[in-house]
Structure 1
Amino acid sequence: MSGAYDDRDGTIWMDGMMTRWRDAKVHILTHAMHYASSVFEGERAYNGKIFKSREHTERLHRSAKLIDFEIQWSVDEIEQVKAQVLRASRLKDAYIRAIAWRGAGEDMGVASARNPVHLAIAAWEWGAYYGDAKTKGAKLDISKWKRPSPETIPCQAKAAGLYMICTMSKHAAEAKGCSDAMMFDYRGYVAEATGANIFFVKDGEVHTPKPDCFLNGITRQTVIGMLQEKGIKVHERHIMPEELEGFEQCWLTGTAAEVTPVGQIGDYNFEVGALARDIAADYERLVRE
């Protein structure tokens, strides 16, 4: 599958029906388009099986509740639909996007309680998120935008509106020849990349930012468990910017990113070392079991 995302062959499930890809549309006065009242999940299937599928669906429901709406389809029903969509895609390795949003209805201001909630699920082929960075190490910019305080946003929701500063940060990074950008949080601690969590290695131990103002990714949690099973000490803590100089290795985790080594963040350089390569290989084996 290739070409613009609105002009492809295939089908997308929308509100209980399989819809031709090009016909999967919403009205211009859809509330989510104006006020970002939508939540989503990004998932990968390997060898015809969606990795951690149910965990993603459960988070979709939690995200919706955090931004004050309910998804009418249950977790079990969404699981069945995702399997149906994957079969219809005829792909074994695929990216799956589930999105729920407030549509057009009686409300067209900030409030939208009377508007219907919709759900759509699509699947497509998507390769390595950072291209050849898995072998060479990704190059990251440092964003001027910061992850905000949890007092200002529902930071544990995977909600569309929270990605606005991520989009701007990634655009700025790409303009500089970088793959992505690392963000600090509102206190000045290291936080994450625009769509992936971050890990560092020093003296054989792993350090990763404490997810108290950004999403605690499913891949992040998976990798922490893998490291602990290998007997590697993992420190989940606040990391100061000046500590970057002392770290030896770095990698990113996420459904799209999988496990991607980082070679550079701003002026700081990291080796694509043994632990980064090993955990990437271990993750690849795990998702294909």
Structure 2
Amino acid sequence: MYYNHNSLIFLNGKMVKANESVTDLYSQTLHYGYGVFEGIRAYKTESGTQVFKAEAHYERLKKSCELVKIPFNWSVSELVEATYQVLKANNLSDAYVRPLVFCSPNMSLTRPNEVSVMICAWEWGAYLGDKQLRLTLSSYCRPHPRSLHVEAKVCGHYVNSILATTEAKDNGYDEALLLDCDGYLAEGPGANLFFEKDGILYTPKLGNILPGITRATVLELADKFGFEVQQGSYTPEDLWEADSAFYCGTAAEIIGIESVDEITFRKDWNNSLGKQLQEAYSKLVRETTKVSRQ
């Protein structure tokens, strides 16, 4: 699904075959989840393949490493260039890109001695599909921000996401919605939350959630359109009384939410602010730029 015998990845400065690449079974990343990653999308445009907000993603990758004390020895520009190399080598235009920084063997609970960087890519549609989602409030909450750096995109953090998604699907829902440790709305397992009420957009404030790059883009688009957006601490009751809601993330893009625990939103998705933002986002990521990489 993700690669075949012809697929090439970037690994520590070289292009190598994915099915011939190996990693050490004693890696700290494998044993402890001590690694960081990013999710990036490339889109086909009239001026060629364009990676959306590549620099912002690699800046966040760098920041994630800094927060959890993983050495980061690559420049953002080097990794952006390597991303385009991977896409070209695999003849990909519309693709999902996964950079991963992983650690060398180390069974102690200390910072790694050496690290590696890998970049791979594959064709992948919208992660959560294109139909409105049926959500359920998860029995799992997001980790307390004093227990780890929630703003870092760390491999091990996503065990929480896997548990929440698995629980939701086992109970017949499309996806989960997690609260923070104080019982306020946080985010989805892999996407940020927005909801609309009386013409105003609301979204959980930073501090207990991942600062999503798509979330930031939605805020930029909302400002462009003159939509009022409030960031704060909101309860599930606030959401149940909303007119509409949506998730946003690089993998999911922007996807409408139909209901939460069988409580359906009153506004038709096609008439919502979220729908306008969804269309604007789809257009934005496919806009041509002045510089076309070959």
1:139 aligned counterpart, secondary structure: strand
Partner of 2:290: none
Give the whole-Å Cα distance in 2 for the aligned partners of 1:71 and 1:25: 21
Q: How much does 1:216 deviate?
A: 1.0
Partner of 1:84: 85
1:38 counterpart = 2:35: yes
Assess if the C-alpha contact under 8 Å between 1:249 and 1:273 holds in 2.
no
Give the whole-Å Cα distance in 2 for the aligned partners of 1:204 and 1:195: 26
5 Å-filtered alignment, 1:163-242, equals 163-242=158-237
Give the whole-Å Cα distance in 1 for the aligned partners of 2:279 and 2:21: 37
Partner of 1:127: 125
Q: How much does 1:174 deviate?
A: 1.4
Give the whole-Å Cα distance in 2 for the aligned partners of 1:233 and 1:112: 43
Give the whole-Å Cα distance in 1 for the aligned partners of 2:209 and 2:257: 20
Assess if the C-alpha contact under 8 Å between 1:201 and 1:249 holds in 2.
yes
Structure 1 unmatched runs, 5+: none
Q: Which has the higher contact order (CA 8 A, sep 6+)?
A: 2
Q: How much does 1:24 deviate?
A: 2.1
1:208 aligned counterpart, secondary structure: strand
Partner of 2:278: 280
Partner of 2:110: 111
Partner of 2:140: 145
Give the whole-Å Cα distance in 1 for the aligned partners of 2:260 and 2:155: 26
Assess if the C-alpha contact under 8 Å between 1:207 and 1:236 holds in 2.
yes
The answer to which of 268-277 and 206-215 deviates more is 268-277
Percentage identity across paired residues of the two chains = 35
Structure 2 unmatched runs, 5+: 288-294
After superposition, what is the alpha-carbon deviation per residue over 1:117-146, rounded to whole angstroms, capped at 9, x for unaligned?
Answer: 10000010001212232xxx1111211111
Amino acid at match of 2:247: L
Give the whole-Å Cα distance in 1 for the aligned partners of 2:177 and 2:242: 15
Partner of 1:258: 253
1:148 aligned counterpart, secondary structure: coil
* Compared CA separation, residues 192 and 112, structure 1 to 2 (3 A): same
Give the whole-Å Cα distance in 1 for the aligned partners of 2:209 and 2:20: 35
After superposition, what is the alpha-carbon deviation per residue over 1:87-118, rounded to whole angstroms, capped at 9, x for unaligned?
Answer: 112111000000001122xx3221244x2110
The answer to which of 16-25 and 93-102 deviates more is 16-25
Q: How much does 1:8 deviate?
A: 5.0
Tell me the TM-score normalized by structure 1: 0.94
Give the whole-Å Cα distance in 2 for the aligned partners of 1:33 and 1:276: 38
Give the whole-Å Cα distance in 2 for the aligned partners of 1:6 and 1:36: 23
Give the whole-Å Cα distance in 1 for the aligned partners of 2:239 and 2:74: 44
Give the whole-Å Cα distance in 1 for the aligned partners of 2:146 and 2:130: 38
The answer to which of 266-275 and 68-77 deviates more is 266-275
Amino acid at match of 1:98: P
After superposition, what is the alpha-carbon deviation per residue over 1:150-198, rounded to whole angstroms, capped at 9, x for unaligned?
Answer: 1111111011111111101101111223221000000100000000000
The answer to which of 264-273 and 274-283 deviates more is 264-273
* Compared CA separation, residues 6 and 26, structure 1 to 2 (3 A): farther
Amino acid at match of 1:188: G
Question: Which segments of structure 1 move beyond 4 Å, counting only runs of 4 or more?
Answer: none
1:49 counterpart = 2:50: yes
Root-mean-square deviation (CA, aligned residues, Å) is 1.3
The answer to which of 250-259 and 267-276 deviates more is 267-276
Amino acid at match of 1:281: E
1:75 counterpart = 2:72: no
